[in-house]
Amino acid sequence: MKKRQYKAEFKRDAAYQIIIKGVAVKELSDKLGVPVSLLYRWKSEHVEELEANNPSSAPSPKKMAAEIAELRKELAKSKRMNEILKKTVGFFSQD
């Protein structure tokens, strides 16, 4: 079986969607028809490339990507808690 070759632009775009847009790796894998492990590798390579080309005065791309991921988790948690509070208020206001 012949290995499939992907263009650099395709790889960068996939990594961009994962890192910046926050698209789930599994979802992108299904959409593009690319194995999940390959997407994770492209993501790592893209972050490393950004790190290498980063001027010393600018923030680290690795730290920024980690911060974005953490903020997304916090936002999701806040949204869940907000929904719970809305349901609780609705329940107690029925009386």
Q: What is the pLDDT of residues 22-68, one digit of tens each?
A: 899 999 999 999 999 999 999 999 988 888 887 777 778 788 888 88
Does pLDDT of 5 surpass 70?
yes
Q: How many domains does the chain have?
A: 1
Burial of 46 by CB count in 10 Å (0-12 exposed, 13-18 middle, 19+ buried)?
buried
Confidence band of 95 (pLDDT split at 50, 70, 90)? low
| Alpha helices by DSSP H, 6-60 | 8-19, 25-32, 36-53
**How much is the pTM?**
0.66
Q: What is the reported pLDDT for 8?
A: 92
Domain that holds residue 37: 8-92
**Which pair of tokens denotes residue 27?**
């979802």
Give residues with Cβ within 8 angstroms of 23, minimum separation 6.
17
Residue 48 lies in a domain: yes
2 occurs within a structural domain: no
Task: Classify residue 3: in a domain, yes or no.
Answer: no
